[in-house]
Structure 1
């Protein structure tokens, strides 16, 4: 497994408050990683830095075999380089069908002008079927996305992310608002996605993290407090004090 993303010595302050403090982090490709930590630990800022939404005051963020600096790139360049992000609240095109949503995401990885000239290719149609199968929405392809349940919309958004074929997926609290059965299915989906991609899941739900069965990074006050298996980090005294003891 090769290192895909490496952050070192990254710090960022907002109005004198250090949201990220000398943070170092790396993830391989493919790999599944869970990020946990108390509110205000810097989890969202961490994702904002990787996607170019927030610029750190210092540090390095390197991506890919050639170790290109993400700090020199715009948000759209970072997305094109292969970093995809799914926010907590699903944003799908509700007036379009599931198939159309996936087709737009598929076309989107090419660039704005290609979308205008996008023709339904045989490979494109096959890829949509493959993704629909993975996200469990094969039966719903012709349905309007607005009619889907909350959990199904989350899956569609994961599918739209996969359609863009990113190398690194950042997924924010995918289990929020889901039924236990939906949560279980989401776990399977993310584990499957991590066979080919690097997947970072930010999550509060400990049961969900346990089912992911992957390495866990604990953030606190903007830096890494502990790293390892869930059992390893949840037995760490500092982690218990700052996070689990609350």
Structure 2
């Protein structure tokens, strides 16, 4: 497994508060990784730095085989490099059908002429069917996205990101607000996605993390506190201190 993304010596302060403090992190391709940590540990800022939303004060964020430094690159350029991000609140086009949402997200040439003359290709249709199956929405393809349950909207958004064929998928608290059955299906969707790309899941729900059955990185005060299997990190005395505030 080759390293896809590597952060080294990354720090960022907001009004004198160090949100990220000399952070080192790397993930390979394909790989699933869970990121846990108490509120204020720097989990969101970590994702903001990778996606170009926040520029760190120091450090490097290296991407891909050529070790391109992502720092200073625009959010849209980083997205084109193959980094997709799913926020906590699903953002889907409520008035469009599930099929239309997936069609809009498909990785197609985006120039003005291509969009103007884009024809629904057989290839595109087949890709939409495959995506719908992957995200458990085959039966919902003709429904408007606004009619879906909260969990189904989350799946649709994951599907829209997968349609862009990212090499790295950052997913923020996917289990929040889901029924147990939806959570289980979400686990399956993410585990399947991680067979062919890197997937980073930021999550509070420890049972959900356990089911992902992957390496876990614990963040605390903007740095990596511990790393390893879920059993390894949850038995770490420092992690117990931080989480239970002993």
Give the alignment's TM-score, normalised by structure 1.
Answer: 0.97
CA contact (8 A) 1:234 1:244 kept: no
* C-alpha separation in 2, matches of 1:152 and 1:171: 15
1:212 aligns with 2:212: yes
Q: Deviations over 1:113-172 (max 9, x none)?
A: 343332211111111000000000001000000000000000000000000000000000
Match of 1:12 in 2: 12
* C-alpha separation in 2, matches of 1:219 and 1:243: 11
1:150 aligns with 2:144: no
- Superposed displacement of residue 112, structure 1: 5.3
CA contact (8 A) 2:30 2:195 kept: yes
Counterpart mapping for 1:67-146 below 5 A: 67-107=67-107, 110-111=109-110, 113=112, 114-146=114-146
* C-alpha separation in 2, matches of 1:18 and 1:217: 19
- Superposed displacement of residue 230, structure 1: 0.2
Match of 2:203 in 1: 203
- Superposed displacement of residue 243, structure 1: 1.3
Match of 1:56 in 2: 56
Match of 2:236 in 1: 236
* C-alpha separation in 2, matches of 1:115 and 1:231: 49
Q: Deviations over 1:170-191 (max 9, x none)?
A: 0000000000000000000000
RMSD (CA atoms): 1.1
Give the alignment's TM-score, normalised by structure 2.
Answer: 0.97
Query: Per the alignment, in what secondary structure is the counterpart of residue 21 of structure 1?
Result: strand
Number of residue pairs the alignment of both structures matches: 245
Unaligned runs of 5+ in 1: none
* C-alpha separation in 2, matches of 1:80 and 1:185: 28
CA contact (8 A) 1:135 1:156 kept: yes
Task: Compare 147-156 and 69-78 and name the one that shifted more.
Answer: 69-78
Query: Per the alignment, in what secondary structure is the counterpart of residue 71 of structure 1?
Result: coil
CA contact (8 A) 2:55 2:72 kept: no
Which portions of structure 1, spanning 4 or more consecutive aligned residues, are displaced by more than 4 angstroms? none
* C-alpha separation in 2, matches of 1:117 and 1:49: 36
- Superposed displacement of residue 245, structure 1: 4.5
Query: Per the alignment, in what secondary structure is the counterpart of residue 240 of structure 2?
Result: helix
Match of 2:193 in 1: 193
